[in-house]
């Protein structure tokens, strides 16, 4: 067979050459060791945690090494494409600080290695399709769906491996005349790879996350171009990652079974393959066993989940670092206030089996991250969240920013900052009692006579002085307790409980329930100071009605 003639016949319009493309997309001028990586998602409209894990890994590796991160849109499967998906993708990733140096953007493409949307790159793929045909490494196949189904059925009956290979590859050795006649008759065709591999052979491969692997060679004549001339992922990624000068491909390990084919493709095209990092699937505990996070069962797989419920970006980011790099938590303990940018992310610290996703742990991380932020920052983020997800709360926060910031400042800044909430949707319930329209007495008063409680509340209202400092404030509460027959000190009380009606804690609880409506609240002195005398007195007096 004259393969050059076949190539000319199949791709008469292809005039660009591989040499020209090499010139157009030269090797990048980057320092030694700089990693060029990419995100190459399909625009399905669903951005999930897996995308973020992959994006974060590629982003850290490329940017930490002084390299390049780009975004390529893998839109070869138009059936799966959803309108607006590219925008959703870019905005979601940007939200998590995954910023691209080049690639697809909302307003088009940016960068010297584009175009960055695969459907627009058809002509480029055809240059290499033609080259492979000319070298006898690819051929057209005219099998219909029915024929392929029949092959499948026969393979099932014979109990042999499924697929288009060996004797089943009907058009592998079709003559030029047959091909010519079929094409002239208007029969649709796909371009297939002519695999020289055998399942009897193993290949050795080192994946940067999975380590040394031994994989079975590929013997299937996979499709390179579909009947509309659009490439499959396999072919497109090889061409793109070569021309875009990708050094490291970070992707989900669902692609690992395709790797032998991908390596064959790179070899057939005469290129050095990039380094591969296959990330294990995110798992979660379901009862006693682990399973993959599923789109159907687990709302937490979608990135929108975190935004809606109000996790700060920093918290999700920090949590992902804890599950992606085994030494991150130690680093964090040693550097409690350092920016995550200072952490040296390494693929060597990634778990080859994949990470376990755990919402409780995420919540802990989030509480921690929030507790270390300044009140101003929490305020700004809360306003941003509430504006979109809780208008009522937004109005309250923005009506009096200083008041809200004072509330948020309680217990912040010290060695052991308070950790009252993990997500912004928990902030309103936490702050609600500070606002009269939301305030109500939700908790029980300690179990004492109504007259007793009334006495304490009234007495306190008479002596409350806004200008007292914390010590003076507490001394007054103790004195109040003593005056009403409560022990001013818990230790003394415990030694001799019968001598008192109760202890100072009971008295503070009466005040706390009256002023905050709860048995648990942040420091009562701080709370009263922020509420201001008028509100404190009003609440002490209103509480009488609930007794
Ligand atoms: N489009 C592929 C996916 O979304 C990309 C895999 C890769 O990064 O190469 O899974």
pLDDT tens for the chain, residues 1 to 547:
899 999 999 999 999 999 999 999 999 999 999 999 999 999 888 888 999 999 999 999 999 999 999 999 999 987 777 888 888 888 888 888 899 999 999 889 999 999 999 999 999 999 999 999 999 999 999 999 999 999 999 999 999 999 999 999 999 999 999 999 999 999 999 999 999 999 999 999 999 999 999 999 999 999 999 999 999 999 999 999 999 999 999 999 999 999 999 999 999 999 999 999 999 999 999 989 999 998 889 888 989 899 999 999 999 999 999 999 999 999 999 999 899 999 999 999 999 998 999 999 999 999 999 999 999 999 999 999 999 999 999 999 999 999 999 999 999 988 899 999 999 999 999 999 999 999 999 999 999 999 999 999 999 999 999 999 999 999 999 999 999 999 999 999 999 999 999 999 999 999 999 999 999 999 999 999 999 999 999 999 999 988 8
Q: What's residue 546's pLDDT?
A: 86
370, exposed or middle or buried, with CB in 10 Å at 0-12, 13-18, 19+? buried
Nearest CA to ligand 1 atom 10: 41
Q: What's residue 316's pLDDT?
A: 96
CB neighbours of residue 465 within 10 Å: 9
Q: CA 27 to CA 243: how far, in whole Å?
A: 8
Tokens 């190459």 label which residue? 40
Q: Measured in angstroms, how far is the CA atom of residue 280 from the centroid of ligand 1?
A: 14
Q: Measured in angstroms, how far is the CA atom of residue 237 from the centroid of ligand 1?
A: 8
Q: What's residue 45's pLDDT?
A: 82
Q: What's residue 507's pLDDT?
A: 96
Q: What's residue 423's pLDDT?
A: 98
Q: What's residue 157's pLDDT?
A: 97
Q: CA 377 to CA 386: how far, in whole Å?
A: 14
Ligand 1, residues 231, 249, 251, 263: which to mutate, most atoms within 8 A of Cβ? 251
Q: What's residue 158's pLDDT?
A: 96
Nearest CA to ligand 1 atom 5: 40
Q: Measured in angstroms, how far is the CA atom of residue 208 from the centroid of ligand 1?
A: 17
Number of the ligand 1 atom closest to the C-alpha atom of 241:
9
Q: Measured in angstroms, how far is the CA atom of residue 251 from the centroid of ligand 1?
A: 6
Number of the ligand 1 atom closest to the C-alpha atom of 251:
8
CB 133 within 8 A of CB 171: no
Within 6 A (CB) of ligand 1 lie: 40-42, 74, 233, 237, 249, 251-252, 255
Which regions of 72-164 does DSSP assign to beta strands (E)? 102-105, 108-110, 138-141
The answer to whether the peptide bond before residue 115 is cis (omega within 30 degrees of 0) is: yes
């Amino acid at each position: 067979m004259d393969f050059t003639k076949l190539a000319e016949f199949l791709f008469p319009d292809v005039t660009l050459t591989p040499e020209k493309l090499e010139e157009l997309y030269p090797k990048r001028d980057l320092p030694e060791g700089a990693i060029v990586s990419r995100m190459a998602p399909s625009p399905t409209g669903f951005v999930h945690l897996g995308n973020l894990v992959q994006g974060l890994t590629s982003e850290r590796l490329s940017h930490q090494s002084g390299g390049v991160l780009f975004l390529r849109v893998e839109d070869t499967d138009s059936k799966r494409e959803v309108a607006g998906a590219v925008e959703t993708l870019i905005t979601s990733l940007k939200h998590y600080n995954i910023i691209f140096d080049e690639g697809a953007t909302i307003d088009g493409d940016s960068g010297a290695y584009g175009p960055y949307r695969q459907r627009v790159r058809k002509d480029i793929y055809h240059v290499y399709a033609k080259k492979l045909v000319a070298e006898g490494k690819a051929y057209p196949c005219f099998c219909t769906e029915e024929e392929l189904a029949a092959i499948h059925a026969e393979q099932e009956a014979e109990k042999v491996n499924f697929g288009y290979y060996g004797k089943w590859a009907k058009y592998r050795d079709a003559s030029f005349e047959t091909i010519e006649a079929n094409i002239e008759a208007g029969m649709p065709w796909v371009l297939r790879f002519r695999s020289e591999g055998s399942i009897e052979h193993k290949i050795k491969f080192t994946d940067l996350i999975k380590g040394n692997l031994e994989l079975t060679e590929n013997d299937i004549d996979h499709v390179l171009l579909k009947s509309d001339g659009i490439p499959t992922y396999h072919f497109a990624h090889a061409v793109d990652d070569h021309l875009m000068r990708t050094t490291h491909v970070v992707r989900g390990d669902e692609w690992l079974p395709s790797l032998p084919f991908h390596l064959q493709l790179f070899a057939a095209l005469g290129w050095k393959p990039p380094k591969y990092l296959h990330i294990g699937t995110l798992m979660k505990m379901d009862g006693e066993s682990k399973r993959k996070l599923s789109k159907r069962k687990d709302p937490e797989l979608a990135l929108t989940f975190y935004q809606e419920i109000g996790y700060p970006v920093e918290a999700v980011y920090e949590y992902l670092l804890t599950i992606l790099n085994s030494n991150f938590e130690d680093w964090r303990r040693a550097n409690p206030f350092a920016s995550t940018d200072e952490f040296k992310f390494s693929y060597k610290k990634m778990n080859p089996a994949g990470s376990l996703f755990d919402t409780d742990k995420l919540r802990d991380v989030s509480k921690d991250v929030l507790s270390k932020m300044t009140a101003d920052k929490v305020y700004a983020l809360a306003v941003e969240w509430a504006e979109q997800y809780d208008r009522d709360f937004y109005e309250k926060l923005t009506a009096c920013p200083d008041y809200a910031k004072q509330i948020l400042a309680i217990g912040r800044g010290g060695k052991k900052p308070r950790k009252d909430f993990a997500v912004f949707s928990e902030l309103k319930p936490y702050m609600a009692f500070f606002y009269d329209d939301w305030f109500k007495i939700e908790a029980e008063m300690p179990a004492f006579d109504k007259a007793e409680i009334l006495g304490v509340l009234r007495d306190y209202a008479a002596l409350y002085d806004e200008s007292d400092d914390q010590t003076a404030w507490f001394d007054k509460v103790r004195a109040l307790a003593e005056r009403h027959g409560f022990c001013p000190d818990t230790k003394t009380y415990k030694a001799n409980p019968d001598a008192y009606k109760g202890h100072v804690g009971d008295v503070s609880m009466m005040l706390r329930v009256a002023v905050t409506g709860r048995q648990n609240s942040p420091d009562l002195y701080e709370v009263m100071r922020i509420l201001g005398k008028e509100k404190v007195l009003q609440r002490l007096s209103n509480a009488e009605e609930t007794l």
